[in-house]
Structure 1
Amino acid sequence: MTREKTGRQIISGYTELITSVIFGIMVFVFFAFFYKYHLYFVEQLQLFLLTGTYFLDKIVLPGGFNGWIGGFLTQFYYLPVTGALIIAILLVSIQILTKHILQKFIPVRGLLPLSFLPAIFSGFIICSELFPLSAITGFTGSLAAAYIYMRIRNVNYRFITGIILIPVIYYLMGGAFISMVLIMIAFELIRSQHPVQPGKDHNKTKISGTDPRKRLNPWQTVFYILLAVCIPLLVRQFIIFQPVKQTFLSEFYHNIPDKVPSVIIILFVLPFLLIFICSLIPPKYFKNNYSIIAQVIIILAAGFYGSTKWVNFDAEEIMTCDYLVKNQKWDKVISFAERKPPRNYLSLAMLNLSLAKKGLFGEKMFNYGQHGIDGLFLRFDKEFISPMMGNEIFYHLGLINASQEYVFESMEVMPNMEKPVRAIKRLAETNLINGNYKVSEKYIKLLEKTLFYRKWALKTRKILFSEDLINRHPDYGEKRKLMVKEDFFFHVEDIEIILHRLLRNNPENRIAFEYLAGIYLVNRELDKLINILPMMERMNYREMPRGYQEAVFFYMSLTNQNPLSGSRYRISTDVISDMNAYAKIYLATSDARELLSPKYSGTYWYYYHYVE
């Protein structure tokens, strides 16, 4: 009989281990392959410095050590799959800790499915870029502290440990100390009423009786509550003055410090709620298959709800385009757009830049559903994403000061007031190109104190004060040739005038020409487009891109003028044939849009007539 029980326990233990491993693999696969660009995006939003000063600046704040740990781990998102591995380890740790904590209250193995609930909840939270990894590291640390507390059998030692843990975990982990305190109180008030009798099999333990020697006195438990309330208030009064909510919850659980969403409170309270609810149910009900099925249904329902509320694949598409553009992987942006056409201005703007960099803007721009000038240039709208991404367009056009201005604007509106490493790197580049070497050096020095940008900083420092090396650099030298030398006032509303200035400064600035032509096309200003066509000959276009041909032939049909007379460019027979077929349907039918869409939605004519 003993061997049979031991065998069942071994099998049960392996089942729990395998289940946790499978969960970890699922988390890893999700973040490594389906949500990886979210991690890349989050990594660039912090500037983690490997200096003692940076460490001290963090740990003087309540929860600052947790913030430092979260930031330290977040920097590894820079490496492929490493971020996914870190998240998987943390979430599996939460699940295992929750399982052991629950088994201290209800000593049966039938609670395994419920132990995944806090881990799943934590995983969904960090699917949003507004929740830092420190929200999870702090929660994990608090659960670990609670479990350590529960393992202490001696009442006096446990009470002393509790007195020490409350201020220590509050100051190290911040707001998640609430989880630990609630579990400690539950352990003394609930579990002590139904202790596990030593020497009994957990599956057959009779939950009854009480041993006063094994639990704290009620006043000691009340003292825990008073300590948990008073410690933050004392810190607020004598160390750092903050709003009361921020004092208790700390600033490292949400990237908008003065706003702590209710989901964080739910996360902190969730283990206690599981303990409380499960303690109300007789343990025998957790031993049958119906209990397991019910728990699995709860987990699946929570997973479905969380995936619809928190997992944002639209944002993942934007972050994919942003990452590829930031790393100048133009072909991959275009390939991605062919699989998943842009559904917003941010992705469309990154695609248009990629088309322009590959010399395909005039040829293919209307293959991807243009929507006016907002798909060409991103306006600054009081949040950090648009200017952060929009600076890339100005940078590659040669509008270095405009790029720099957008980067500064993005830093000013960062919700957590961090200085993003991406912005620091771009400021080092723009000042280098402008010849502001001392300013550039200031930013390079910061990057030299990072783990993954140090190599780039050291390499860039070698060319810092060398005009010749900078002018011969494939990127910085090109930008110097494109940029306007004289000062001018920049506003995105005046972009047409600014592009003309770029072309006067450098008539071979092909990207500036294609963006200017793009403005005239999306604004339906065909007269202006016709006026700039002679510039193409100076840029050695072998033939006129199809998008321009469609617009020019349409202009010819409207005005009976041939703007290409005397030019070496011609309208292809394919364009003529396609427009004649298009016009035949357009003029003959009242529901022409539906008939034209399948074949002609990628043409300028369709855009001209039907796109708002």
Structure 2
Amino acid sequence: MTKNNLLSRILKTDQLLTFAFGLVVYLFFSLGYAYHLHYQEQFQLFLFTTDYLAQYVGYPGGISDYLGNFITQFYFYSSIGAILLAIMLTLLQRMVWSVAQKLGTATYWIPLSFVPPVLYWSLLCDESYLAGGLVAILSVSAFIRTYLAVKNPRNRIIFTLLSVPALYWLAGGAFLLLPLFVLTREMMSKMMKPLAFSIFSAFLIGLSIVLPYLTKQFLVQFPFTKLLIGATYYRYPVVIPYSVAIVGLLIVFLPFLSKLLSSKLQPQRPAFWLAVQLLFLVSGSYFLLSKTADLNKEEVMEYDFHARTRRWGRILEKADRQAPTSPLSVTCLNLALAKQDLLGERMFHYYQNGIGGLLPDFTRDFTIPTILGEVYYHLGFINTAQRLAFEAMEALPDYQKSARSVMRLAETNLINGNYELAGKYLRLLQKTFYYRKWATNTLQATKKETLIEEHPEWGLLRKMRTQEDFLFSEGEKEMMLGTVFMQNQENKMAFEYLMACCLLKKDLQHFMEYYPVEKALNYRVVPKSYQEALIYVWGLSHNDPTQSIPYPISNSVKMRVKNYANIYTTRQNPEQLLRNDYSDTYWYYLHFRN
């Protein structure tokens, strides 16, 4: 068997390359980038209602958005979301390759067909790129492939003229790729007479220009840019998706380029050229994805997802493997420590970046209020958590509703006893796929209050919540924590957050004022960070802080403070010497963390 025959046999199974590509995409999104999918799912609320469908079919590209949202709801489970993305990107590759083959491309140029899906894959690494845009691009590719399947010239003209307005309504501005491909194909094939081609071109171009302007006359409530672009490629409407336009142009012209290469370049060693293309494809894909994948955001999203799903142990396991450094990750870690009754004991075992890693300041966006709301919710600030959930949902730039926010609004209203309003949110969630069962079960609590009282979380938070109204102030977090604790002195978490605020702000005066309250909480052992702060303050006025100290300090802490003080006071560059053995102490944070 000759080499060329062997190559031909291999390339007849080009589906293997597609399968390998799809498998890599799946592994990427299911194992390495799963929490980006969870992040996207929580910021939409797909409803199985005719009203929800109607609001999408009423504008160009809305059907693509609707289908994109339908797909995004399955990101609730990242493995399913990864499968769906792998299917869509492999479908895009197969469409491009099928069009190229229909034009007469030689089989050894198949790696070129992977360029558009790889580029779109890199775009999807940005959490603001939405699935609806990919649906729109796939729709255009399907229409182009169908056009090539029509043999009769007259039928092709009829198909194109009917498809342009249909595709405009389905995919929005991406419809322009179809007339662009058709005119290029007809011009290069010269199958139409010059006069007929001129008339057809003029009519097709005119139709493509008139459609958005004509639509504007009937849909005056939409800005013209929205009617022109159509499908929502990017979460922020003000961002024009030029990168997607590049992918679209490649879908149109790459098949013609591959055909041209097939006719001009007929290498003697096609297997070698195939290997070179695959090498460039793999290395280029790796380089591109390494630049576009944001693993720092993935870390924050992972911590937030585990906090959302109450997987406190998973948060601590991750932090033990590699301590988080971003403020929002540290916020989730501190919440997990508090929920596991370990905040005072182990807080300084991890990197702390001040009060911003405990209770970040409110920012008018949709990410920080969502994470911050988790903390206030578990602290018993039910009204604050409710406000933050509403603020986060209203701040979504693409005007979606948030499944996570709606779920939180239902919970806070249940805890506050606003059962009618809670029922409104729960009945909304009953129209979803993943939240339906939870909403149906929870709806029973609006009719039977004992279900709330007996609930392990809602019952506790109802007891811990603030009973008196007070003005929420970003600059007075300690005062608010103290107020919540004094209203219910069983709220140990509020006390520990109050003490943590003092320690992180290095406000040892107030720490010492609040510390005596610790006796009322019946700690079996005084938390380690409290012991370290107490012995430090005692040492400021005593030569030997380990002697006659009136607080219950362990022998281990006494021994460590002596060694720490000896290195700190007698050695040059003490930070370097203390880092390995004492970076888990409050003393190290006090002296060397800003």
Give distance in 1, aligned partners of 2:157 and 2:250: 24
Give distance in 2, aligned partners of 1:608 and 1:429: 39
Q: CA deviation at 1:332?
A: 0.6
In structure 2, the partner of 1:558 is 540
Match of 1:262 among 234, 242, 254: 242
- Residue type of the partner of 2:488? N
**What secondary structure does 2:446 align onto?**
coil
In structure 2, the partner of 1:134 is 132
**What secondary structure does 2:172 align onto?**
helix
Q: 1:241 to 1:216 in 2, by over 3 A?
A: farther
Q: CA deviation at 1:139?
A: 0.8
Q: CA deviation at 1:341?
A: 1.3
Deviations 1:369-403 (A, max 9, x none): 11110000122222210001110000000000110
Match of 1:123 among 121, 124, 131: 121
- Residue type of the partner of 1:292? L
Residue 598 (structure 1) aligned with residue 580 (structure 2)? yes
Q: 1:282 to 1:37 in 2, by over 3 A?
A: closer
TM-score normalized with structure 1 length: 0.92
Give distance in 1, aligned partners of 2:4 and 2:112: 24
Q: 1:286 to 1:48 in 2, by over 3 A?
A: farther
Match of 1:366 among 336, 340, 348: 348
Deviations 1:429-481 (A, max 9, x none): 10111111111111111101111101011111101133322111111110011
Deviations 1:161-212 (A, max 9, x none): 000111101101223223333222222123x15xxxxxxxxxxxxxxxxx55
Contact 1:188 1:215 in 2 (8 A): no
In structure 2, the partner of 1:92 is 90
**What secondary structure does 1:145 align onto?**
helix
How many equivalent pairs are there? 591
**What secondary structure does 1:81 align onto?**
helix
Residue 469 (structure 1) aligned with residue 451 (structure 2)? yes
Identity across aligned pairs (percent)?
Answer: 34
Q: CA deviation at 1:559?
A: 2.6
- Residue type of the partner of 1:118? P
More displaced, 17-26 or 258-267?
258-267
Q: CA deviation at 1:244?
A: 3.7
Residue 233 (structure 1) aligned with residue 213 (structure 2)? yes
More displaced, 492-501 or 98-107?
98-107
Give distance in 2, aligned partners of 1:351 and 1:441: 32
Give distance in 1, aligned partners of 2:451 and 2:548: 45
Deviations 1:313-345 (A, max 9, x none): 111111111110001111111111111211211
Q: CA deviation at 1:5?
A: 9.1
Give distance in 1, aligned partners of 2:381 and 2:330: 20
Matches within 5 A, 1:174-323: 174-190=172-188, 192-193=189-190, 211-212=191-192, 217-278=197-258, 280-281=260-261, 283-285=263-265, 287=267, 288-289=270-271, 291-323=273-305
Give distance in 1, aligned partners of 2:194 and 2:277: 31
Match of 1:520 among 494, 499, 502: 502
- Residue type of the partner of 1:376? L
Contact 1:188 1:216 in 2 (8 A): no
Q: CA deviation at 1:558?
A: 0.8
**What secondary structure does 1:107 align onto?**
coil
- Residue type of the partner of 2:51? T
Give distance in 2, aligned partners of 1:558 and 1:542: 27
- Residue type of the partner of 2:345? E
More displaced, 262-271 or 23-32?
262-271
Gaps of 5+ in 2: none
**What secondary structure does 1:217 align onto?**
helix
Gaps of 5+ in 1: 194-210
- Residue type of the partner of 2:141? L
Match of 1:584 among 550, 566, 580: 566
- Residue type of the partner of 2:12? G
In structure 2, the partner of 1:503 is 485
TM-score normalized with structure 2 length: 0.95
Q: 1:5 to 1:520 in 2, by over 3 A?
A: closer
Residue 570 (structure 1) aligned with residue 552 (structure 2)? yes
Q: CA deviation at 1:258?
A: 3.0
Q: CA deviation at 1:75?
A: 0.8
Q: CA deviation at 1:247?
A: 2.0
In structure 1, the partner of 2:383 is 401
- Residue type of the partner of 1:45? F
Q: CA deviation at 1:273?
A: 3.7
Q: 1:506 to 1:582 in 2, by over 3 A?
A: same
Q: CA deviation at 1:608?
A: 0.4
